[in-house]
Structure 1
Amino acid sequence: MNFSSWPALLVVDVEGNGTNPPDLVEVAALPVRGGQPDKSTAGAWLTKPKRPVTPFAARVHGLTNQVLEDKPGWEEIRDAVHTCLGTVWIAAHNAHVDYRVLSAHLPQWQPAGVLDTLRLAKATFPDLPKYSLDALIDHLAPDLSGAPAQRHRATFDAYATAQILVAMAEHYETWDELVAAAVPPGLPGAPEAEQEPTLW
Structure 2
Amino acid sequence: MNFSSWPSLLVVDVEGNGTTPPDLVEVAALPIREGRPDKSTAGAWLTRPNRPITSFATKVHGLTNDMLAGKPTWEEIANQVHDFLGTSWICAHNAHVDYRVLKAHLPKWEPAGVLDTLRLAKATLPELTGYSLDALIGHVQPDLSEAPAQRHRATFDAFATAQLLIAMARHYNAWDQLVAAAVPPGLPGAPEPEKDPGLW
TM-score over 0.5 (shorter chain)? yes
Q: Take 2:69 and 2:16, find their aligned partners in 1: how far apart are those partners?
A: 15
Report the counterpart of residue 3 of structure 1 in structure 2: 3
Q: For each residue in 1:88-147, what CA deviation from the matched residue of structure 2 results, as whole angstroms up to 9, or x when unmatched?
A: 100000000000000000000000000000000000011101000000000000000000
| Equivalent runs, 1:158-197 vs 2, <5 Å | 158-197=158-197
Instruction: Tell me what 1:15 maps to.
Output: 15
TM superposition score normalised by structure 2: 0.99
How far, CA to CA, are the matches of 2:68 and 2:152 in structure 1? 16
For residue 78 of structure 2, what is the amino acid of its counterpart?
R
Partner-residue secondary structure (3-state), 2:26: strand
Query: Could you tell me how far apart the structure 1 residues matched to 2:20 and 2:173 are?
Result: 40
Q: How many residues align?
A: 200
Deviations 1:28-71 (A, max 9, x none): 00000000000000000000000000000000000011111111
Match of residue 75 from structure 1: 75
Indicate the residue corresponding to 2:96 in structure 1: 96
1:113 equivalenced with 2:113 (yes/no): yes
Quote the offset at 1:82 in angstroms.
Answer: 0.3
How far off its partner does 1:197 sit?
2.0
Tell me how far 1:8 sits from its aligned partner: 0.4
Distance in 2 (alpha carbons) for counterparts of 1:67 and 1:129? 37
Matched, 1:33 2:11: no
Runs of 5+ consecutive residues of structure 1 not aligned to the other structure: none
Detail structure 1 runs of 4+ shifted over 4 Å in the superposition: none
Letter of the 2:182 partner, please give it.
A
Structure 2 gap ranges (5+): none
TM-score between the two structures when normalised by the length of structure 1: 0.99
